[in-house]
Amino acid sequence: MKVTAHHKLFAMVLSLGLIAGCSSIGETTEDGAYDSDVSAVDQDGGSTVYGGDDEGGVSSSEMTEEQRREAEARAERAEREAMRDITTFYFDFDTAEIKSEAREVLVAHARYLQANPNQDVRIEGHADERGTKEYNLALGERRANAIERFLIVNGASRGQTETISYGEEKPAVMGSSESAWAQNRRVELVFQ
């Protein structure tokens, strides 16, 4: 295909028109400010959350260091409380090793127990249906004991904990599939 000077000129004019059409300076309101419903950063360097006019929002530039620390402490407490909603911990096949993703949640439980010495917890160990009843009772007990040791090492008192093994007797899910077995290999914390 042969490109002529006429085609090049037409392409250049079209490109300039496209660039000019895409650029905008924004519309201004009566007071000369740009029309926007959200102000991301104020002129003092702080940010504004929930609202563009600083009314009803929280500006980080107006918070003192003490207020920031208090807000961070509240956020940490809320996160620990949210983690405490998790009371079931799953195990791999034929093991009592606590999974790494469960450790942070268990630390939150241990700290809660440490801060609340009158709170008790029953640690219930479970296994899937594979294996003999005796073996599964022993496996559930090893799992419950592993969780109990972890809680005690991280601040809970031995007097606050009680372990029990149900083995395969109380399955969370009925069935003989890998999915059902995975949900039955667990320890549950029951706060009393």
- What's the domain count of the chain? 1
Residue 168 pLDDT > 70:
yes
For residue 11 the two structure tokens come to 């392409």
145: nearest Cα among 168, 157, 133, 163:
163
In a domain, 166, yes or no: yes
In a domain, 36, yes or no: no
In a domain, 61, yes or no: no
What is the distance, to the nearest Å, from the Cα of residue 117 to the centroid of all Cα atoms in its chain? 27
Report the alpha-carbon distance of residue 143 to residue 125 in Å, rounded.
6
By the 10 Å C-beta count (0-12 exposed, 13-18 middle, 19+ buried), 29 is classed as exposed
pLDDT digits (tens, 9 = 90+) for 54-79: 555 555 567 788 888 888 888 877 77
Local structure of residue 42 (DSSP, 8 states): -
In a domain, 136, yes or no: yes
Q: What is the pTM of this model?
A: 0.62
> Per-residue pLDDT averaged across 4-15, rounded?
60
Query: How much is the pLDDT for 38?
Result: 47
In a domain, 6, yes or no: no
Q: Could you give the angle at the alpha carbon of 138 between the alpha carbons of 132 and 144, nearest 5°?
A: 135
More confident residue, 184 or 70: 184
pLDDT digits (tens, 9 = 90+) for 112-152: 999 999 999 999 999 999 999 999 999 999 999 999 999 99
> What is the percentage of the chain residues whose pLDDT exceeds 70?
68
In a domain, 43, yes or no: no
Phi-psi region of 86 (alpha: psi -120 to 50; beta: other; left: phi over 0): beta
In a domain, 28, yes or no: no
Range of the domain at 75: 69-191
In a domain, 97, yes or no: yes
pLDDT digits (tens, 9 = 90+) for 90-118: 999 999 999 999 999 999 999 999 999 99
Q: What is the CATH number of the domain that holds 110?
A: 3.30.1330.60
128: nearest Cα among 86, 100, 170:
170
Report the alpha-carbon distance of residue 187 to residue 172 in Å, rounded.
11
